[in-house]
Amino acid sequence: MAQIVKRAYKYRFYPTPEQAGELARTFGCVRLVYNKALEERTRAYRLEGRRVSYVESSARLTEWKRSGKFDFLFEVSSVPLQQALRHLQAAFANFFAKRAKYPTFKSRKKSRASAEYTRSAFRWRDGELTLAKMDTPLAIVWSRPLPEGAQPSTVTVSRDSAGRWFVSLLVEEKLIPLPPAGRSVGVDAGITALAALSTGEKIDNPQHERADRRRLAKAQRALARKEKGSNNRAKARVKVARVYARIADRRRDHLHKVTTRLVLENQVIAVEDLTVRTMVRNRSLARAISDASWRELRSMLEYKARWYGRTVVAVDRWFPSSKLCSQCGALRKKMPLNVREWMCACGAVHDRDVNAARNVLAAGLAESRNACGAGVRPQRESSRTGDRL
């Protein structure tokens, strides 16, 4: 059955000097409004014990504009400013629901520069996008087409630390689930290989950060030599950001290709419920784990599976997939990380990662068949320290 989903299509664009100036002012005003509203909400919460609503914050924004101190707020579109207050409202809702930490102030240097426009603040006509307070449309590079007949409901403009400009268009799209696939696969995330599959295949890990490590180190050394606050330091910081952007772009592209292929080919995808936040505390492996980006890999699998009628099953993180023989079910007491192949007493010879993927698949299929939805934990380990990478 087809489903209507909201999808964001992100494109790079090249603003004129006038557009760049207008957007830079808008980013600054959005940051100012967000921080002032957060400051007042924090004061009311800590000193008076009360919560400030979005309506109150919106009224305060009107007062700031009329006070004479912030006349420059009239120079930019009011919609991004209101959207900033809505984002702050959502941040507090998540905090009070214990889904997130307390909201923090936006930094000019560290925070993402962005502004969100709703339908009343932009014009979409004949494939051209014109934002409020601008006379000419944005010069967008259409790297892929929008869905036929799509009408953006929200437009988000951003500039990354490397100085690149992006526009993200949120549109409604009808997605038709793929025909059922007769295959299922278990995925064991790793470092040497990005993923080992239960089919015996190993997907290479390009290690993009490692490949550009010398270039990154050179750019960082050049940055460290520049005087703080100087224009040369600002230029050097952009060069470092460009190296990081290149690494992130290549990594994301590879993950998209891998996850799309897995979703297209398999009906059920079983993965381990890894706690990446805890695992990166290992100083010896933190850099390699971050470069592999396991969390993003799983996130992509999950939302693509929802789009196309597939199922992703997360197996308990304590499930001893590496120590368990996928042939006879025997459990070994120890399995050091340097053991990449091993032989079971039943005579089966296992590749450590492929064997783990097969066990993850078996546990995932058992869990997906469980009518109650409870996790299957046939043999649970007491500790994960130093295991399963």
Catalytic residue ranges: 188, 272, 353
Token reading at 13: 């664009």
- Non-local (6+) Cβ contacts of 265 within 8 A are 181, 183, 185
Closest of 335, 298, 332 to residue 313, by C-alpha: 298
User: 44 by DSSP, 3-state: which?
Assistant: helix
User: 86 by DSSP, 3-state: which?
Assistant: helix
Q: Do residues 142 and 11 make contact, with C-beta atoms less than 8 angstroms apart?
A: yes
User: 106 by DSSP, 3-state: which?
Assistant: coil
Alpha-carbon torsion, ordered 253, 256, 257, 262, to 10 deg: 160
The dihedral through the CA atoms of 161, 162, 165, 166 has a sign that is negative
Amino acid identity, position 374 = A
CA distances from 72 to 29, 67, 272 (A): 8, 11, 51
What stretches of 103-192 show up as alpha helix (H) in DSSP? none
